[in-house]
């Protein structure tokens, strides 16, 4: 009897902890844009993140040149 009550409370708590409210930014346009941007990131994040990281790295190298290499070396030894 006691175990059954504990199990029931545990199941209720598990349902509550997995309950996620929908995201709402209180502005319909922003909510729509947010949902359109995050939907592909939830399903296939590496399909978008790896090319974006590569492009950012390439742009940083084009703008700052060899200083990026020395900065990354310094940060690598510092941490």
Ordered mean pLDDT values, 10 residues apiece, the chain (79 residues): 79 73 84 89 88 92 86 83
pLDDT of residue 2: 64
Say how many residues make up the chain.
79
Name which of 50, 52, 25 is nearest 36 in CA terms: 25
Residue range(s) defining the domain that contains residue 60? 23-78
What are 39's two structure tokens?
Answer: 């939907």
Name which of 21, 5, 2 is nearest 13 in CA terms: 5
C-alpha gyration radius of the chain: 23
pTM of the full structure: 0.49
Count the domains in the chain: 1
pLDDT of residue 22: 74
Domain presence at residue 10:
no
What is the DSSP code (8-state) at residue 27? S
Domain presence at residue 68:
yes
């Amino acid at each position: 009897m006691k175990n059954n009550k504990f199990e029931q409370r545990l199941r209720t708590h598990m349902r509550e902890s997995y309950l996620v409210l929908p995201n709402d930014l209180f502005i319909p346009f922003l909510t729509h844009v947010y949902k359109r941007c995050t939907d592909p990131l939830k399903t296939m994040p590496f399909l978008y993140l790896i090319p974006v990281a590569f492009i950012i790295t390439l742009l940083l190298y084009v703008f700052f040149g060899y200083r990026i290499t020395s900065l990354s070396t310094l940060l690598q030894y510092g941490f």
